[in-house]
Amino acid sequence: MKQDLIYSIREKELQLSKLSEHIDKSVVCADLYNKILIEKAVLKKELDDLQNKSIMNRIKHLLPRREKLICDYFKG
């Protein structure tokens, strides 16, 4: 699972690097870049959650979940 997440993050970074040259040329490219950037942030958050196995995080998962906000993926 961890290796899959790392591989997916690297894939997203490669896609972002290729798209970065074309952001100014097309609205479609800019939208795709933003979409991939958000997907990468979600993957990084999942990886951080997977690596962070402290007692506090275990307890946090037992509590009722609040709705995730987009800003939750960009913390840290």
Q: Is the pLDDT of residue 76 over 60?
A: no
pLDDT of residue 34: 93
DSSP string spanning the chain?
-HHHHHHHHHHHHHHHHHHGGGTTT-HHHHHHHHHHHHHHHHHHHHHHHHH---HHHHHHHHSPPPPP-GGGGG--
pLDDT of residue 52: 72
Other C-beta atoms closer than 10 Å to the C-beta of 27 total 8
pLDDT of residue 57: 64
pLDDT (tens digit, 9 = 90+) per residue, 13-59?
A: 999 999 988 888 889 999 999 999 999 999 998 888 787 766 666 67
Confidence (pTM): 0.68
